[in-house]
Amino acid sequence: MSETSSSPQRMEDFVQMSALLTGFAAGTIAPSLDPVDLKSTLFAAAEKGAGDAFDRLLDQYAQLAGGKPVSQMTPAERQSIGESLLGLDGQPSDPQTTATARSVMRLLYLGYWYPIDGSAGAETVVSDQAYVRGLAWRAMQSHAMGFSTWSYGYWASPPPPLTDFTGNPAPAPPADAAAEVPAGTAAASLPAEAAAASTLGQGKGGQSPADLVGGR
Amino acid sequence: MRATRVTTGRALVSCAAAALLLAALPLACRTRPAVPPPPDVAAGGGGPVAEGTTVDIDCGGTKQPVTVGTELPRLPTFQRVITLDSLQCDFDVFSWNSFLALSHGLDGAFGDRGGDNVTTWEVWPNEGDLFRPGGAEPPEWRAGHPPPRTPVPAVCEGKGRPGDRVLTQIGKQPLLVEAALEPFESGPLIDVHGRYARFGITMNQPFYQYVRDHGLYSRAGQQAFAAGGGRVEFPCGCDPDPSGASCPPDGQQGAIMVKASWKVLDTAAGDDPSRFHTTQALVVTPATESEPETCERQLLGLVGLHVVTKTQTEPQWVWSTFEQVDNVPERGAEEAAGRYNFFLPGCTDCNAVNEPPPQPWDPHLQPVRANSGKSQVVRQIPIPQGSVEINEAVRPLLAGTVWQHYELISTQWPTEGPGQGEPSAASGWCVPLNPVDESGAPAPAFLGNSTLETYIQGTVPQASSSCINCHLNATLAVGQQSFSDFTYLLERAQ
Amino acid sequence: MNGKRYDVVIVGAGIAGSLVARELARRGKSVLILEAGPETPPTNRETYLENFYLAAAKTPESPYPPLEGSRPSAEPAPRATVADTFGSNVEPGWPEKVQSDPDAFIYDPVKSYLLQKGPHPFASTYERVAGGTTWHWLGTSLRFLDNDFKMRSVYGVERDWPWGVDELLPYYNAAESSIGVAADAATQERELGEIGLRYAPPGYQYPMQPILTSLVDEAVTGGIGGATGFVGFEGLGVEVTPTPQGRNSQPYANRRVCAGNTNCIPICPIQAKYDATVTLSEAKQAGAELLSQAVATRVVVGENGAVAGIEYLRWQRDGSGTIERTPGTAVGTLYVLAAHAIETPKLLLMSRRDDQGALGHGVANSSDQVGRNLMDHPLYLSWALFDDKAWGYRGPLSTAGVESLRDGAFRSQRAAWRVEIGNEGWNFSIGDPWTTVGDFVLGTNASQLNPDTRTLFGDALVAKLNDVFPRQWRMGFLVEQTPEPGNRVTLSTDLPGGAAFTDGLGLPRPVIHYDLSDYTKLGFVYAEIFARDVYRRMGLRCYTQNPKEIVGRGGALVANPTWFPLAPEWRQVFASLPPELKAPEVTNLPAAADGIPEGFQYFGAGHVVGTTVIGSDRASSVLDPAQRSWDHPNLFMVGSGNFPTITTANPTLTLAAMALMAADQIAKQLG
C-alpha cells in the first residue's frame, strides 16, 4: 500500500509489537530463517483491514518502544506499553487503534482478521498458513486442528514444555496476580460468577457451538 | 522488499529479489564457472568429461565447488553468513555434488558409453532385495560391492538377454521395476505416447545395513523392535572428529534413499534416447481383475530422481530432486511447439491439467487409447531462481554426456531441524528432531517432482507435496512406537 | 446411458453405494453409479482441505461444495448443513409461525435446504459428493449389540429387526476389512461381551492393532474406569473402552498411519481415516462406471411392477455459472438406491404417479412408511475443566468411550447411550480456541472462563490460555432415538407455497417433521446425572450450558430450537439426588436451582437413520429382510435408512456390513 508498509523498520515494529502483545518471542513470530514469511501476510492483512488505524498503532508502538527490542524490556516496560496500546491504562486513547491492537492479537493467535468495527460474522481467514501457524495452538502446546507437526501416537505422551512453543523463558509471575489463577482455584471460586454468566450469556453460549464449529 | 531486518538483527537478503538487482548486489546469488566449460569431447578416463572438473558457485559471498567426481558429500558445507538464500544455495550445491557422485558408476565410469553409464545407485539393492518374501533375512553388505539381488520373479524368467548392458553391469540380475502408481494411489503418470511411467527405489549400504542389523526387514522383527522401545534412527552423515566425540574419526556416510522414475523410450514415436540416462529393465505389471501378471524387457529413460540423504545437522534428511529437462513446461510457460515427455501442447482431449487419468487404470493396456489417459502435466511451482542459476553453471561441465539433460528442481531442508541434544553413537551420530515441529519448518515449504508427485503440486499444507511433511508420517509396518525416520520403505516388510 | 443396459444401476456414491458397486463389479457385473455431486480425483484432497483452512466457520461441511453462503434454491445438489441451523437463520416467534403458517419453517428457507417444520429441528447433515458423508465421519466403527436387534421382544419398546446379530457377523468382519478398522477384539469382548458384543469366528482379529489412546482417555480411565454405583445403572460397571476406529494404526490399503491431525471432522488431511473414495476407487478399478453430477429424479416403474429405469438430470455449470441440465435414463436389471436417508425417500416420493394407483404414495410405498421413522442420535454435550492438564486438542478427535452402559434393563423405560470421550477440549462445546481467545483479548466472557472480563496480553495471556486449554474436556452422549412414524421426510411440493421451495434443478426439497419422544428425552436426564457423577468422582468443575434462548436473526433473543424443557414429572428424579450431585460445581446451575435443570439442549450426531426401514411385515416396513422393496422385486436400498432402530452405536460400520449383505443378495438374484 503505502511506502511505509514495505519498510523494514515498519515490519520490525510490527513483529516486536506482536511479540509484546501476544507473549511469544519475536523469533517465533518471524523466524530468522523463514521459508513461509508469514509476517508479511499478517502485516498486509492488518494494513488492509485497519488502514490508517494500523499505521497509527505502529507509530504509537515505535514511539513507546523507542527502538528497544521486547526481549530487552523489563516486565514493567512491557506491561506499560501493552496497556497503552490496548487502552487499559486509564489514559485517553484512540478507540480505533486499541481495536486494531486487539484484532492484531487475534490475527496472530488465530490467523483470522476480525474487523475493527466489531461487526459480527465478518471475520475472515487470512491464509492457510496464517491459520495453521496460529499462536493459540502453541499456547496449548499443540498444533492447529488439521495440521499435526508430529507423527503417530504423540498423543499418548505429554507435549514438550511451553517455553519450546513460545520461544520465551517461562513467564514471570504476572504483574497483577489475579491475571493468572492457579489451576484448581478457578473451579473453586467460580460458581456464583459462572451461574451469572450462564444466565447473561445464554444467547452467545447457545449459539457459539453451532456457529463456530458445528455439530457433527 | 529487498532486505528485511528481523529479530535476530541479521540482514536477510532475498535471492530472488537480488537477481533483479544484480548491479546493486554483485556477489549475491551469482554463479561463476571456475574453469571454462569443457570441450564436448572425450577427456580423461575414457568419458567425455574430465574428472575433477569444478565450477564454483557463489552462495552469498562464499564460493562452493560443484565437482564432477565420485566423492559423495557427507554434509553440506555452510557459509559464514547465514541467510535463507545462502543456505538454500549450500544445500543445492550439496544436491548437485551428490547427484554427480551417484551418477558415476561404481568403477568411476561417467558418460563413457555414448555419453551414458551405469550409475552407482542402480547397482544398489532395491526394496525387494531388502524386504524379501516371508520376511527372509537379506544377506550382509559390509563393504565393497552390493550383495547379489534376489532372483527375478518367475514371470520374468528367461526375459533378460545375455548381451544386455544391464545384465553385464549389474551383478547377476537386471533392474526390476514394478510400481506403476504414484504414492497413496493418486494415479499413474502416462507419457505423451500413452505409456505408463515406472518407479523404483534403491538404498545405500548404511541404510541397508541399519535395517538388517536391527531386524527391521521383517514384520516380526519390527514388532520386536517396537515392543522393545526401539526408535528407528538411521545413521547420519558427519565429518571426521579425531576425538570421536561428535563423529567417528574417519567420518561417516549417512543413509541414502534414491527414488527414480522412468519412462519407456519409444524411438519410433520420436523419443531421443541420447537425451536420457537409459537402462534395459525387466518391467513387471501386476495382475489385475482381467489380466495376469506380465514381465517385459524395455528400454527405459530416467525422467526423475529423488536423492534423500540423512545428515547430522538435518535429522529430517536432505531432499534433493532432479528431473530430465524435457519433462514438462512450467505453468504459464507452455510452448506451443515444445516437445515434452508429459505434456502435449494444444491437446484438446487429454486429461485435465495435473489430474490423474480416469479409472480403471490398466497398465496392461499400453499405449493407452489415443487421448484417453495421457497425463497433461505442468510444473505448478517454478524452479527457484537460485537453483536455475546453479543448473546453468553446472550444465556446461556435463556437455557430451546424457547428464547435461538433467536439472535440479530444488532441495528441501529443515530450517529449524534439530532440537536439544548432542549427537552420539547410539543415535547414529544424529541430533534429535525439533520437539515442537518435527518437520523442522522445511524450506522450500513445498517441493515436488513433476514425475513423482505429479498430482499434488500445490501449496496446501498437508495435502500438497512437501517431502519432509509427508515422510514425517512414515512408520513401520507394525508396532505402536512406529515412527520410521522419514522412510516409507519399512512398510514393505513381510 | 447411451442405451447401455447395466446389470445394476446404483444411485449414490457414498460408502453403501460404493461397497455394493465394488462387490458386484468384482464379480463381473456391469455397474453404473449415478452421483448427484461432483467427482473428486482419487485421494486428491488439496481443494477440499484448502476450503477447510480458509473457512471462517469450520463446520463439518466447510470443505465441500457447495460452499457456505450458496443458496439451496440455486444449487443443483444442495444438502443440509450445520450452518443452516445458525441462530441467525431463526426468527423471533418461530414456534407459533411454524404452527400457523404452512410455509413457515424453523430455519430461513432461503438458507436452509431442509425445510424444518418441527416442533424441533433435525440437527444432522450429510454431503452430496462422491465419497458421501464419510468425508467427515469420525471413523467410529462399533458393532451393534445382541439386544439392539430385538428391542420389542426384549424390552417391549421400539421395533425388532427381521434378523439378529448372528446373520450380520460375517458381514461385520468384511466391513471392518473394507474400512480398515483398528481395535483389539479381545479387549472389546472382555469389556463388552456381557452386554452382547459378539464376534465370530473365535479368535477373530481386527485388520489393525488398536489406535493408541490419549492422555485424556488415561485421565478418565483413572477417574471412573471400573467404577460402579451410577444412578440409574444399578448392577452395571463403567468401562472406558478404546474405540474401534476406521483410521490407520499401521499402514493399510496404501494409506498412511494416523498422525493425530485432530481433524477427522471436517476432513482428514492425509486420508489416514477411511472415506468412501477408497472403496469407490476400488469399484472403478474393477470396472464400475461413475456418472457424477447426475441427480436421480424419478424411479420409473413398469407395467409389471418392476423398476424399468431411473431418470436423472446431468448438470454442468457454464462459464457464467448458469446450470445446464441434460436429462437421461439409466437402465439396468436391478436397481439400488444408496442416496442416504433423506435423499432416498425424497426420490421415492418424487417418483409417485397419482394416475398409477398403487404408486399414489410414491414408489415402494404401499406401506406408507417411506420417509417415516427418521432418527438421529440426539447428542448431549457436557463439558468441564480438569484440575490438572489432561492435554486435549491432541490426537484423533476421539479414541475411547464409555460403551458398557449401552444395554440394560433400564431400556424398557428410557433411552440408552454411549459416551464419546472428546480429545478436542471445548472445540465442539463452545467453539474453542476462538471463543476463549476472543474473551481474553476483548474482555468478554462467552466461555465462562473470564468472569472478571479481563483483557490480558503478553505473558499473562499465554499463561492463562496455557492454563485453561489443556484442562478442557467434554463428553458427548449419543442418545438412542425411538422410531416414530411422525418423524418424517415429505416433499416441499406438497406445501401450499411448494413451488417456491425447489432446488437449482427445480426439484422438490425435503420437508422435515421431527420431535424427540419422552423415552429419548429421559435418556438425557440420566446422561446429565451421569455427567455430574463423573465430575464429582473426578473432582472436575462443570461448565455445561443448556441455553433456552439464543441470539436469532437481527440480534434478537429467540427460543433455542434444539432446547426442550424438563418434564415436570422428572423433576423428582433430580430432587431426590444426593446433595453432592446437585452442587453448583457439578451442575453449573445456581445453588437456588437445587440441581434441577430447566431443560436440555441437543446437537446432531450426523447420524441420518430410518425412512426406508426393513421389517418382516410388509404393512409396516419399506423393505423386506433382504433389503429389497416389498413392492418392486428388482429394487434394493442400502444405507442407514434401512435401520428399524438406531441403537446407541454410530451407524457406519453396520450400514457397511448391511450393504455387503445386500451385495450378496443382489449377486444371487442376478444369477
- Cα–Cα–Cα angle for C472, C475, C477, rounded to 5 degrees: 165
C-alpha cell at B343: 505434456
Contacts of C550 in chain A (CB under 8 A): 202-203, 206-207
DSSP for residue C305: S
Which chains, if any, share at least 3 CB pairs under 8 A with chain A? B, C
Judged against a pLDDT cut of 80, whether residue B8 lies above it is answered with no
Model confidence at B9, pLDDT cuts 50, 70, 90, reads very low
Q: Indicate yes or no: CB of C53 within 8 angstroms of CB of A212.
A: no
CA distance B116 to chain A (A): 37
3-state helix, strand, coil in chain A (%, to 5): 60, 0, 40
Closest CA to B479 of B214, B208, B263, B297: B214
Please give the model's pTM, rounded to 2 decimal places. Answer: 0.92
Residue B35: per-residue pLDDT:
40
C38 has a chain B CB within 8 A of its CB: no
CA distance C416 to chain A (A): 19
CB neighbours of residue C138 within 10 Å:
23
If one compares C450 and B167, the residue with the highest pLDDT of the two is C450
- Mapped onto helix, strand or coil, the DSSP state of residue B384 is coil
C42 has a chain B CB within 8 A of its CB: yes
Backbone angles phi, psi at C176, to 5 degrees: -65, -30
- Cα–Cα–Cα angle for C584, C586, C592, rounded to 5 degrees: 25
pLDDT digits (tens, 9 = 90+) for C587-603: 999 999 999 999 999 99
Residue B153: per-residue pLDDT:
79
To test the contact with chain B by mutation, choose from A4, A32, A147 the residue with the greatest count of B C-beta atoms within 10 A, namely: A32
H or E stretch covering C420: strand C417-422
DSSP for residue B416: T
Contacts of A186 in chain C (CB under 8 A): 385, 449, 467-468, 541
Closest CA to C607 of B494, A136, B18, A215: A215
Q: Diameter of chain C by CA atoms?
A: 77
Give the C-alpha separation, C162 to C624, whole Å.
Answer: 8
Residues 6+ apart with CB under 8 A from A135: A22, A24, A28, A29, A108, A109
- How many CA atoms lie within 13 Å of B459's alpha carbon, on the beta-carbon side? 12
Give the C-alpha separation, A60 to B73, whole Å.
Answer: 52
3-state helix, strand, coil in chain B (%, to 5): 20, 20, 60
Distances (CA, A) of C124 to A193, C85, C282, C646: 33, 10, 29, 14
Q: Indicate yes or no: CB of B462 within 8 angstroms of CB of C270.
A: yes
Residue B421: per-residue pLDDT:
83
pLDDT digits (tens, 9 = 90+) for C485-494: 999 999 999 9
Residue C295: per-residue pLDDT:
98
Judged against a pLDDT cut of 60, whether residue C525 lies above it is answered with yes
If one compares C670 and B13, the residue with the highest pLDDT of the two is C670
Give the C-alpha separation, B322 to B102, whole Å.
Answer: 12
The residue of chain A with its CA nearest to that of B486 is A151
Q: Indicate yes or no: CB of B186 within 8 angstroms of CB of C42.
A: yes
Which residue is associated with the grid cell 425447489? C502
Q: Which long-range contacts (CB under 8 A, 24 or more apart) does B147-151 make?
A: B148/B172, B148/B173, B149/B125, B149/B173, B149/B176
C-alpha cell at B214: 536391527
pLDDT digits (tens, 9 = 90+) for B339-390: 999 999 988 778 889 998 888 888 888 888 765 689 999 999 999 999 999 9
Residue B280: per-residue pLDDT:
87
Contacts of C471 in chain A (CB under 8 A): 183
Which residue is associated with the grid cell 514393505? B492
Q: Indicate yes or no: CB of A215 within 8 angstroms of CB of C461.
A: no
Give the C-alpha separation, C526 to C233, whole Å.
Answer: 9
Residue B371: per-residue pLDDT:
59
B7: nearest CB among A15, A36, A147: A15
Residue B179: per-residue pLDDT:
64
Model confidence at B180, pLDDT cuts 50, 70, 90, reads low
pLDDT digits (tens, 9 = 90+) for C326-380: 999 999 999 999 999 999 999 999 999 866 666 778 999 999 999 999 999 999 9
pLDDT digits (tens, 9 = 90+) for A64-116: 999 999 999 999 999 999 999 999 999 999 999 999 999 999 999 999 999 99
Mean pLDDT of all residues belonging to chain C: 96
β-bridge partners, C32: C9, C289
Give the C-alpha separation, A68 to A62, whole Å.
Answer: 9
The residue of chain A with its CA nearest to that of C546 is A206
Closest CA to C161 of C652, C661, C643, C655: C643
Q: Indicate yes or no: CB of B185 within 8 angstroms of CB of C281.
A: yes
C-alpha cell at C309: 429405469
If one compares C307 and A181, the residue with the highest pLDDT of the two is C307
C-alpha cell at C315: 448438470
The residue of chain A with its CA nearest to that of C478 is A216
Among A residues 97-126, those touching chain B with beta carbons less than 8 Å apart: none
CA distance B380 to chain C (A): 13
CA distance C153 to chain A (A): 32
Point out the least confidently predicted range of B43-52, C93-102, C412-421.
Answer: B43-52
- How many CA atoms lie within 13 Å of C523's alpha carbon, on the beta-carbon side? 31
Judged against a pLDDT cut of 70, whether residue A193 lies above it is answered with no
Give the C-alpha separation, B75 to B91, whole Å.
Answer: 9
CA distance B201 to chain A (A): 23
Point out the least confidently predicted range of B67-71, B143-147, C81-85, C570-574.
Answer: B143-147
Closest CA to B381 of B333, B439, B424, B337: B333
If one compares B178 and C256, the residue with the highest pLDDT of the two is C256
CA distance B469 to chain A (A): 8
Q: Indicate yes or no: CB of A146 within 8 angstroms of CB of C267.
A: yes
Point out the least confidently predicted range of A2-16, B447-461, C233-247.
Answer: A2-16
Give the C-alpha separation, B293 to C181, whole Å.
Answer: 30
Which residue is associated with the grid cell 414456534? C95
B194 has a chain C CB within 8 A of its CB: no
In B332-448, which residue ranges form alpha helices assigned H by DSSP? 385-394
pLDDT digits (tens, 9 = 90+) for B98-154: 999 999 999 999 999 999 999 999 989 988 899 999 999 999 998 888 888 777 778
**Inter-chain CB pairs, A–C, below 8 Å:** 314
Model confidence at C244, pLDDT cuts 50, 70, 90, reads very high
Judged against a pLDDT cut of 70, whether residue C610 lies above it is answered with yes
Give the C-alpha separation, B201 to C439, whole Å.
Answer: 53
Residues 6+ apart with CB under 8 A from B18: B2, B25, B28, B29, B85
- The number of residues making up chain B comes to 494
Which chains, if any, share at least 3 CB pairs under 8 A with chain C? A, B
Judged against a pLDDT cut of 50, whether residue B25 lies above it is answered with no
Mean pLDDT of all residues belonging to chain A: 82
If one compares A134 and B182, the residue with the highest pLDDT of the two is A134
- Mapped onto helix, strand or coil, the DSSP state of residue A187 is helix
B187 has a chain C CB within 8 A of its CB: yes
B84 has a chain A CB within 8 A of its CB: yes
Residues 6+ apart with CB under 8 A from B314: B413, B414, B417, B440
Segment C319-323 shows an average pLDDT of 89
Contacts of B459 in chain A (CB under 8 A): 128
pLDDT digits (tens, 9 = 90+) for C132-172: 999 999 999 999 999 999 999 999 999 999 999 999 999 99
Residue A183: per-residue pLDDT:
36
Segment A34-47 shows an average pLDDT of 97
A164 has a chain B CB within 8 A of its CB: yes
Residues 6+ apart with CB under 8 A from C271: B184, C43, C45, C255, C256, C278
Segment C4-24 shows an average pLDDT of 98
Query: What is the DSSP track for A76-129?
Result: HHHHHHHHHHHT-SSS---HHHHHHHHHHHHHHHHSEEPPTT--TT--EE--HH
Give the C-alpha separation, B125 to B210, whole Å.
Answer: 13
Ramachandran area for residue B332 (φ above 0: left; ψ -120 to 50: alpha; else beta): left
Give the C-alpha separation, C87 to C549, whole Å.
Answer: 10
If one compares B303 and B36, the residue with the highest pLDDT of the two is B303
The residue of chain A with its CA nearest to that of C590 is A195
Residues 6+ apart with CB under 8 A from C167: C661
Residue B368: per-residue pLDDT:
87
CA distance A31 to chain C (A): 19
Contacts of A150 in chain C (CB under 8 A): 259-260
C-alpha cell at C141: 466403527
Closest CA to C378 of C274, C221, C537, C484: C484
Q: Indicate yes or no: CB of C285 within 8 angstroms of CB of B359.
A: yes
Give the C-alpha separation, C238 to B455, whole Å.
Answer: 48
Sign of the dihedral defined by the CA atoms of residues C24, C29, C35, C40, in that order: positive
CB C577 within 8 A of CB C231: yes
A164: nearest CB among B82, B435, B443: B435
Residue A6: per-residue pLDDT:
61
Residue B46: per-residue pLDDT:
59
pLDDT digits (tens, 9 = 90+) for B213-263: 999 999 999 999 999 999 999 999 999 999 999 999 999 999 999 999 999
**Inter-chain CB pairs, B–C, below 8 Å:** 83
Give the C-alpha separation, C551 to B155, whole Å.
Answer: 70
Model confidence at C30, pLDDT cuts 50, 70, 90, reads very high
Q: Indicate yes or no: CB of A142 within 8 angstroms of CB of C590.
A: no
Judged against a pLDDT cut of 80, whether residue C435 lies above it is answered with yes
Residue C353: per-residue pLDDT:
81
DSSP for residue B410: E
